[in-house]
Each structure stands twice: as C-alpha cells, then as structure tokens.
A and B are shown apart, each in its own frame.
Chain A
Amino acid sequence: MRVFGFLILTCALAAAAFGDVVGEYKGAGTNPGGQGSYACDVKITRTGDAYAVQWLFDGALGYEGVGIVKDGLFCVGYASGQGYGVVVYEIKGDGALEGIWTTPGFDGLGRETLTKK
C-alpha cells in the first residue's frame, strides 16, 4: 500500500512539474510609463522545448509570442503587426505568472499578471 502512496505522490509531483506554464490565463496589465491599463486572455501551449503564447483582447488575437523557461522565469518574445517586444514572467508557487514587459520606443517597463482560469 505504501508503494501506491509513493506512486501517487511522485506522479502528482511529475504532473505539476510538467504542467509548468501551459494553460489558459486571465491577464491584467499596465502600459510602460503608467500609460493606462488593460485586460486580456492568454493561452500558453507547449511546442517541444519551447512554448507558444497568444494574447487575446475581447476575444480577438492581438499578439503572438514564443517562450522558454529559464531560471524560474518564463521568457517570451512577441510580435504583431504593430511591432515586437519582450515579457519576463516570474513563475509563482500558485501557478500565477508575474511579468514585466517592454517594447522599442517606450524605454520603460509595463506590468502584466496572469492568473490561471
């Protein structure tokens, strides 16, 4: 019976580790320089060693990105018709992602927090 307990525990741990950042999130952010705030929906899927990220605004795709996990950080480069940028999320214990981001021309940092749906 102890073996089964161990099995369940380790598999749960493995699932938690493999699940890492994949999922659907609610996002809330602020633009660099305090220039307004926004809300979005974010989808993260695994693509081999990397991740694909989609930001939806009112249900419409706004930005697409590619991400990698490094040192407990989820690092994403994104682009759209309006340019490109970078987001660095800290992976929190509860699965939330706490990000800072920037895009050329702003020089400041915006914030974005993603919480799992």
Chain B
Amino acid sequence: MEKWLRLAAVLALACSFCACKKLKEMREGPGGPLPFGEGGKEPVSAAGVAGKYTGSGTNPEGGSYECDVTVSRKGDAYGVMWYFDGALGYEGTGILKGNTFVVGYAGPQGYGVVAYVVKRDGSLDGTWAGKGSTKVGTENLKKR
C-alpha cells in the first residue's frame, strides 16, 4: 500500500509540474515573460508596428536565415513583405492585438503563421510555424 502511495505522489508531482509549465507557456509564450509592465497588456503606440526591419531567424528543422521586412498599415490590418537578398519571398497580412502582432503569410513554399511580441524598443520577437510543421521557428525583427 505504501508503495502505491509513493507512486501516486510521484505521479501527482510530475502532473503538476507539467501543468504549471504548460500554463506558464500558454500565458507567456515559449519565449518567456512579456515585454511591457504588469501582465504586458499596455497597448502599443498609435504608430503601431509599421516600418522597415532587418530580420534574422531560425528554421524549425535547424539552420538560420536573414531577411528584410516591410510592414505597412492597411486600415485595421497590416501588409507584410519578406525580402531575401532583395527579392520578395513571402507576403503576409497581419493583425495587432495588444502587444502581439500576428501575421498569416503565403509564398511559393506554402503558408504559415508568425506571432511576434512587440518589445519596448520597437523590435519584434517572433515564433512561426509553416503548414504541416511539428516544430516552430523563431524570427527577430529590428527597426532599420
């Protein structure tokens, strides 16, 4: 009986650890805490996220890349363009919600999604996934 109790306690600890880790990730995203004040819910300035950026990222399956990114305001939404060596590679459409800038993109190699956290210095810290991917990539954009 004591053996079963010990096993149950170990299982309970493992379960609560996983649950807490998962809840933290759901609240904060895999990249850690939010950039702005308490709870990160202060809105981004009226200028929003429009601008020109230099980007560096990592692919879900390994390897890294560099790109130039242009974000322009289109009504309540944003248009996003990714350039690789000066050539347009992907186009996207984005929505700014709180401090999270979410972009759906499409290109010759399919479609996907990027969720960027807007940092205080105006840089964008992104996590992305392409169609069918089981892992996520990262992409960091800094204002030019």
C-beta contact mask, A1-37 vs B, less than 8 Å → 1, else 0?
0011011001101101110100000000000000000
Cβ contact within 8 Å between A86 and B131: no
Cβ contact within 8 Å between B133 and A71: no
Cβ contact within 8 Å between A66 and B130: yes
- Given known A71-B40, A75-B100, contact A7–B11 (CB-CB < 8 A): yes
Residues of B near A18 (CB, < 8 A) are 18-19, 22
Residues of A near B75 (CB, < 8 A) are 106-108
Q: Smallest CB–CB gap between B99 and chain A, Å?
A: 8
- Residues of A within 8 Å of B, CB-based: how many? 48
- Given known A68-B136, A104-B91, A107-B74, contact A78–B8 (CB-CB < 8 A): no
Residues of A near B25 (CB, < 8 A) are 69
Chain A residue at smallest Cβ distance from B5? A3
Residue B120 interfacial (CB < 8 Å)? no
Residue A49 contacts which of B11, B15, B103, B129 (CB distance < 8 angstroms)?
B129
Cβ contact within 8 Å between A47 and B19: no
Complex Cα spacing A87 to B95, Å: 8
Cβ contact within 8 Å between A75 and B93: no
Cβ contact within 8 Å between A86 and B134: no
Residues of B near A39 (CB, < 8 A) are none
Residues of B near A77 (CB, < 8 A) are 92, 103-106, 111-114
Cβ contact within 8 Å between A75 and B19: no
Cβ contact within 8 Å between B98 and A67: no
Residue A96 interfacial (CB < 8 Å)? no
**Footprint of B on A, CB under 8 Å?**
3-4, 6-7, 10-11, 13-14, 16-18, 20, 47-50, 52, 64-73, 75-79, 83-88, 91, 100-104, 106-109
